[in-house]
Structure 1
Amino acid sequence: MGYGLIVRFELHDAAAATAFDALVDKTLKGIKENEPGTLVYVSHRVPGEPDVRVFYELYADREAFEEHERQPHVREFLEARQQYVARFDVTFLEAVGGKLSGEAEGTA
């Protein structure tokens, strides 16, 4: 079922959140165009926590994740995000069951 992770970002303030969202939008263009092994990459707002973003990421396998990390648009994101992020936490996931649909079905 792939290789997944969740990342929680706590941003400095509302201005940082706006700039971070713009950076994410720019990065998503590169992900959509250049990463067939990235099956799901979604940024979420958290109701009641306007300066928090949570990413859910699902890759075909660990190699697809490592390829994602090597991409120029991702390297740029990782460097630029530092100015907006007060704290972040990464949780790696191992699937034990579930339902996949669309492009992700091929990894089940």
Structure 2
Amino acid sequence: MTEGFGLVVRFTLHDEEAASAFDELCARTLEGIKANEPGTLTYVTHTPEGEPLVRVFYELYADRAAFDAHETQPHTKYFLAERGQYLAGTEVTFLDAIAGKVAVPQ
């Protein structure tokens, strides 16, 4: 399975106030992603059970070029510039697909 490009990002927030503001920033960013990024196949923010100050992003793109296009969008640049004030830590894992099932639009 050579199609697709993905990553998982784990953000740890400073406190509950930072988590709330970060969630608002994410919601604004997601509006731009939905409206302007056909190559972004999946972009989901999760809160792990029992970890209220952690957010895990799962991102799947059609290919590396789609990810690169995502990174150049104004809403993404704004997110990247603003997120640091809320964060205590960040871990990024890039993923290469080797097998799986991908939904096909109807």
Structure 1 residue runs of 4 or more that deviate by more than 3 Å after TM superposition = none
Give the counterpart of 2:45 among 35, 43, 46. Answer: 43
* Partner SS for 2:35: helix
Aligned residues: 104
RMSD, aligned CA: 1.2
* Partner SS for 2:98: coil
* Partner SS for 1:30: helix
Quote how far apart the aligned CAs of 1:58 are.
Answer: 0.3
* Partner SS for 2:67: helix
Q: TM-score, normalised by structure 1?
A: 0.93
Aligned to 2:32: 30
Give the counterpart of 1:59 among 27, 39, 61. Answer: 61
* Partner SS for 2:53: strand
Give the counterpart of 1:6 among 8, 17, 34. Answer: 8
Give the counterpart of 1:89 among 88, 91, 106. Answer: 91
Query: CA offsets per residue over residues 26-85 of structure 1, 9 Å max, x none?
Result: 000000000000000000001111000000000000000000000000000001101101
Quote how far apart the aligned CAs of 1:100 are.
Answer: 1.0
Partners of 2:84 and 2:10 in 1: how far apart? 14
Quote how far apart the aligned CAs of 1:102 are.
Answer: 4.0
Q: TM-score, normalised by structure 2?
A: 0.95
Partners of 1:38 and 1:22 in 2: how far apart? 20
Which runs of 5 or more residues in structure 2 are unaligned? Answer: none
